[in-house]
Chains A and B, each alone.
Chain A
Amino acid sequence: MTTAAGTPSDRSVLPITERYPLVGWLRRNLFSDVFNSLLTLAALAFIIVIARIFLRWVFFTAEWGVIPANFNLLMRGQYPAAEAWRLWLVIYLLGAVVGICWKLIVGQFSGAARVLIAIPFVLMLIPFFSMGSRLNLLITAVASGAGFFIAGYLPIQRRGRAAAYFLIAYLVVMLVLLRGLPGEEGPMPPVQPILWGGLLLSLLLAFFGITLSFPLGVLLALGRQSKLPAVRIMSVIYIEFIRGVPLISLLFMGQVMLQLFLPDGFPLVDRVLRALVAITLFSAAYTAENVRGGLQSIPRGQYEAAQAVGLSAYQSTIHIIMPQALRAVIPVLVGQFISLFKDTTLVALVGIFDLLGIARTIISNPDWLGTQQEVFIVVAVLFWIFSYTMSYASRRLERRLGVGER
């Protein structure tokens, strides 16, 4: 812009905005004319007033004692304290599996890996954690480092497939650890899912809701596009029926009405499982419509080209159509998964203690009456962390796949 009026070494000759880049930035962006300057000052005053009120509340008024006193409840609900080691084992293994899969899929220790390995250390800084929990988080970090290191020496040919096997094995081990083995006296007595609660339950419902509803949704989307009328009509009926009903009514149906429809003596399906089924069925219908949007964005030429090179309908769907369709709808799908994560809080209305449900019982404890602001802020921050992580991960995925660029 401005041509330098002197040699680059002679900075004193430069205008002040060039000599101090910050001043230049401020002048360009915040104080470019009188009106903007006034606006900036007014906004600044507003921010300061709000921040003062908030910070004064955070540091002087708020009774944070409610959080450490009920921290276990927020994290794992009514999961028995004597069995809490199983949850830590689940977290260690998660760390290890993340390390292994990172090595197998990505290979090198790149930027995002640093973010991942930093998570346990950042969590250790949270003031509400006990020393024992901090130690456990340290072990988790070590476990993921060890997983990363060991995976480099594994004689594995098909790395992607091996990573998938590791993940599936992890899920099975996780469920066994959570649920326990039969026999009250055994080393791992069973823990009914209704006792899983707090953040643990919210994350489990969201995770399994997402992973189960996604394939179902893709199938429904393909079904709706199908040339077979029976398949198409059933898909349309399913999708439109579910989308026409609010999630809460599906949850009520599952919790309250199901038993009236089932024959007498039919074994009771676990209540948490019933909620999960309702969430999955609900989310699948929306996933189906999102995926259909992606399918419709694929030009006809792609189908014809796939046919021309002799691919069967199945092959062209798997290798040509689906990868492009899904890539196009990643932002929508992630948005829907985030909303599914937040929708899991509705299970609190049918008597299951997810994170929000447990928060509401904590503020009803006579010892902690009147602490709803503190508790709900912590719950909001927890939800924000996980929702933001999902949208961050999706942005990275989009960049890697070049969505919106190619």
Chain B
Amino acid sequence: MKSMKGINRTGMILAMVVGMIIAACMSPDAGPEPVLSDEPAAPQPQEVQSTLSIVQERGKLVCIGNSQLPGFGFLDSEGNFSGFDVDYCRAIAAAIFGDANALEVRPATARERFTILSSGEGDVIIRNTTWTMSRDTDLGMNFGPTTFYDGQGLMVRKESGVVTLPDLEGASVCVITGTTTELNLADQFAAAGVNYEAVVFEDFDQSFTAYEEGRCDAVTTDKSSLVSRQTTLSAPADHVILEVTLSKEPLGPAVRHGDDQWFDLVNWVVYATMIAEEAGINSGNIDSFMGSEDPNIRKLLGLEGDFCSKVGIANSGCFVDVIKEVGNYAEIYNRNLGPETVFDLPRGLNSLYTDGGIIYAPPIR
């Protein structure tokens, strides 16, 4: 009896495993067949659908963004996404649909953002993402024009008397994991021969709360974030942001490798906001430029040469929609980070090249 039962059981297991293997082998073959028989003439199965046509079919852009970075991406009290990065999502939506609200912001952590883009869950990352070589190559990203030039800084307590990096010998530094800041910190401290202890957190709030509670002697992240966060500390004047800049942090949009049309579209929407600032066109005065004789302005506004069609958009006034709905670069900057906000960040590097900055867009022609 006993042995019979044993054989029975083994047989069952065997049958199950074999069944599972067969099922696993069958399914990939069985999968595509109905698709082929459905549309035998269509060449579509061979061709990968373009991102733009996916977005247009869906009726909205899915933008991988941040929901927890003051000034760059957050929910306002009405439940709408708002911020500098979100405005660039809105600009792309406005260019494609003529409606900046044809947009779903997919909030993501620093870690998962690239996976989400690769898996096709989102169309573009605009989430204070630093353009680096390995992200550009290994991760298969294409980075668009930098919308915000940042640099990594360090904030310490004034009473510590720290002024330069070597002063931080043996200090503990709060840092956010999965970001370039974590790696820069290691590189710069190693280069300066300074020993330190990294205290790693998943997000800004934890990192800054830990710093304020005294769990670390310094906190590091992009300088723009340090400025915004300093205002939230209980005694902002007791803290100081060091002069030293640990890294270059060019922040901008990123798209997947392999869809050049989509990459061009994202690029030129961003450039259009910069060109508009150069030309002095903003959301308030754009209508007065509609009769302009300046060929550069006429090209931007779609009055001459159909430049929108070159990035796949049928509406020749796509950049007009961007400027009307979202504004030019200066408007986007000032609305989110400018003197009227709590941050009051000076434009610095982010001024137009004509004002001493490095914001420079190629011409539309």
Chain A interface residues (CB < 8 Å from chain B): 69-70, 72-73, 77-79, 81, 194, 197, 229-230, 233, 252, 255-257, 259-260, 263, 265, 349-351, 353, 357-358, 360-367, 369-370, 372
Contacts and interface: CB of A to CB of B under 8 A. Distances in A.
A233 B13 contact: yes
B116 interface: yes
B314 interface: no
Contact of B233 (A260, A360, A367, A370): A370
Interface of B: 8-9, 12-13, 16, 31-32, 35, 67-71, 73-80, 104, 106-109, 112, 115-116, 118-121, 203-205, 209, 228-229, 231-234, 341-343
Contact of B121 (A256, A365, A372): A256
A87 B86 CA distance: 28
A72 B73 CA distance: 19
A259 B121 contact: yes
A366 B343 contact: yes
A230 B70 CA distance: 54
Contact of B77 (A73, A194, A256, A350): A73
Given A349-B109, A370-B231, A365 B76 contact: yes
Contacts of A349: 109
Contact of A256 (B16, B69, B112): B112
A360 B78 contact: no
14 contacts: A73-B75, A77-B79, A229-B8, A255-B121, A256-B115, A263-B31, A263-B32, A351-B109, A361-B68, A364-B205, A366-B74, A367-B77, A369-B342, A370-B233
A321 B77 CA distance: 53
A350 B209 contact: no
B68 A364 contact: yes
A366 B106 contact: no
A69 B77 contact: yes
Contact of A363 (B35, B80, B205, B234): B205
Q: Please give me the 10 A-B residue pairs with the lowest Cβ-Cβ distance, nearest first.
A: A370-B232, A78-B79, A369-B232, A351-B107, A364-B74, A361-B75, A259-B119, A364-B68, A361-B67, A229-B9
Given A73-B77, A255-B116, 14 more contacts: A70-B77, A78-B80, A229-B12, A257-B115, A259-B121, A260-B119, A265-B35, A351-B106, A361-B67, A361-B107, A363-B205, A364-B75, A366-B70, A372-B209
B12 A230 contact: yes
A366 B71 contact: yes
B120 A259 contact: yes
Contacts of A370: 231-234
Nearest to B69: A364
Given A365-B70, A369-B231, A358 B112 contact: no
Contacts of A364: 67-70, 73-75, 204-205
Contact of B67 (A233, A351, A369): A351
B347 to A, nearest CB: 18
A25 B68 CA distance: 53
Contacts of A194: 104
Nearest to B68: A364
A370 B70 CA distance: 11
Contacts of B229: 369
Nearest to B232: A370
A361 B234 CA distance: 20
Contact of B112 (A252, A259, A362, A369): A252
A273 to B, nearest CB: 14
